Structure formats: C-alpha cells, structure tokens
Amino acid sequence: MTPEPAATPAAPARSAGAPRPQPRWLARLELLGAALSFGLMAVLARRLSRGDAAFSAGQLTVIRFVVGAAVSLVAFRVRPGLYRPHDLRLLWTRGFSGGIVVVLYFLALARIPAGEAGMLYNLFPVIATAMSIRAFGERPTVHLVLALLVATGGVVLVLGNGSLALGIGLGEGLAVAAAVFAAFSSVVIRAMRATDNAPTIFFYFCLGGLPVALPFALGAWPTDPTAWALAAGMGLAAYAAQVLMTEAYGALSIGEAAVWLQLTPLAQYALAALLLGEPVSAAGMAGMLVGVAGVAYGTVLGHRPRAPRA
C-alpha cells in the first residue's frame, strides 16, 4: 500500500470555546492600531523620563503593568464572560517572558545608545518568523521574507539615522537577548490564541511581568499630578497596544504579523516629532517610506492564498 502523505504542520488546534478567527483585513487594522498605541506609549515614556519630576524606567514599567491589570479587572467586571483562562502554563509563561523582555531592554538602554538598542531589539519580528517555522510549521513566502527585510531596513534607517554603528559588548548582548525573548513571547501568544482570548492573555502578562519589574522600581517616586496623569495615559496606551496585537495574532501568521509590527518604531518616530518636537532627518524620512513600502508589499503579495473549502 502506498503510504498517505504527511499532513502539513499548522497552527495550534483551536479548542471548542476558543474565539473564532477574524478577517485578515481586521487583524491588519488592529496591528496598525497597535503600532500607533505602542508608539504613543514610547513617546509618553520618553516624556516622563525627563525633567525634575521624572520616573525611572522601572517605575514606568510597574505603572504600565498596574494600569493594565486594573483596566483588565474593570473589563472583566463589566463583561463577566471575558475572563476565560484555559492554558495557565502558557499564560504564566507569557507573563514572565514579557517581564524579562522589559527588564533586558531597559538594562541595554542603560549601557548603549537608544538607537543602537532599538535596532537590535527590533530584530525580534525576524527571529519570531524563524521560530514559527519550528513551532507551527509556518512557511513564509519569498515575498513575505523580502517584505520583512525591506521593512526592517526602513527601521534601521529610522533608528540609525542613516548610519549603522553597532558594537560588541554587554549592552548589545542584552538587547539581542531582549529580542529573543520578545520573539519567544510572540510565538507563545500565537499558540495561546487557539485557546485564550486577548484580554485574558494581557491580564496574565501584567501579573507575570509585575514581580519581574518591581526590583527595578525602588527609590523615590515623583509626586507631580500632571506627571501621574501622563503615566496613566501611557498605561492605557500600552493596554490598547497589547490587546490589539494579541487579538491580531488569532488571524495572521507570525511572519505577516512581524511585517506589520515593524510599523511600531516608525510610528514612534513620527509621534515623537509631532508631540515632542524631536528633529526629523532625511534618513528618517527615507526609512519611513521604505518601511511602509515593505509593509504594503508584504500585505499584497506576502500571504499564501487560503485553501479552498472541501
């Protein structure tokens, strides 16, 4: 007898009570919203880390987790069926890995310039795409890989301001480690979307990340009410970004989501110019155009067509 061909590996099996996949166009809109929200969060965090009433990086991280957990509890109270934990092992894994990402990235920022740290950290979508091949059997198309490389090149232009200057040291190692853990978190989120909804996943992200960040939030805290109001806004932006990103992972492959996630540093660059008055360079504008072109190319040609129904 001729053996039957092996089945093509797929994304994790979806449980009976899991949320149904949404249309791709909606998931892409959610990733666009996530990029804008992440960018706003980063700009507010930069604003809050300056001046006499400045928060430390650890304090901003704690505020981000506390605000996120509080908003999640309110949402669960308003909609009792929204809290549906299923795979507790993966939920806590997501929480702790997310906390480790934040700590590693802040430690890198304390040792190397922000542009260098950002360039290394934003390799995580590329790493996540490679991990998805082993984890889910996802096979990105040539167009998608090319789009990811083009979008990443745009990010390098924006963050590197036209020059790529990378060293080899502890700071660079910490930034790369943060990228690896961020990629791992993306794969965990993709796996959990088969069983758990986005608000539940984000709630455990806050619970797991808070104890990791607390040791880095020691010291005197600011007392300026305006600064605290901006910090609350930063936490709300982080909530929106994480929930939108996690929701989108239910409909898109890791590779396609990775291309759209490269809009995050581009949005941060544009919002910093609008809200903080930071200068815009020719290299930065070129990087914006290259990054957006990469995302558009990947959206049009990068995904595989859906298999026809039997």
Q: Where are the beta strands (DSSP E) in the chain?
A: none
Identify whether 17 is part of a domain: no
Identify whether 59 is part of a domain: yes
Number of domains in the chain: 1
Give the pTM.
0.79
Per-residue pLDDT of 142-180, as tens digits, reads 888 888 888 888 887 777 665 555 567 787 888 889 889
**252-287 in b/e burial notation, b at 16+ Cβ within 10 A?**
bbbbbbbbbbbbbbbbbbbbbeeeeeeeeeebbeeb
> Domain limits at 77?
24-219+230-302
Q: Give 254's Cβ-side CA count (13 Å radius).
A: 31
What is the rounded CA–CA span in Å between residue 68 and residue 82? 15
Q: Give 60's Cβ-side CA count (13 Å radius).
A: 25
Q: What is the DSSP-derived secondary structure letter of residue 13?
A: P
What rounded mean pLDDT belongs to the chain?
A: 81
Identify whether 2 is part of a domain: no
Identify whether 8 is part of a domain: no
Identify whether 189 is part of a domain: yes
Rg from Cα positions in the chain: 19
- How would you classify residue 108: left for phi > 0, otherwise alpha for psi between -120 and 50, otherwise beta? alpha
> Among candidates 229, 126, 99, 240, which has minimal Cα distance to 183?
126
CA distances from 61 to 129, 209, 213, 256, 296 (A): 27, 9, 6, 28, 33
Identify whether 283 is part of a domain: yes
Identify whether 19 is part of a domain: no
Q: Is 57 exposed, middle or buried (0-12, 13-18, 19+ CB in 10 A)?
A: buried
Is residue 27 within 8 Å of residue 252, measured between CB atoms?
A: yes
Per-residue pLDDT of 62-103, as tens digits, reads 999 999 999 999 999 999 888 988 888 888 888 888 888 878
Q: Which two tokens stand for residue 3?
A: 């053996």
Q: Give 31's Cβ-side CA count (13 Å radius).
A: 26
Amino acid identity of 135?
A
Q: Which of 3-7, 21-25, 107-111, 232-236 has the highest mean pLDDT?
A: 232-236
Identify whether 85 is part of a domain: yes
pLDDT band at 229 (very low <50, low <70, confident <90, very high): very high
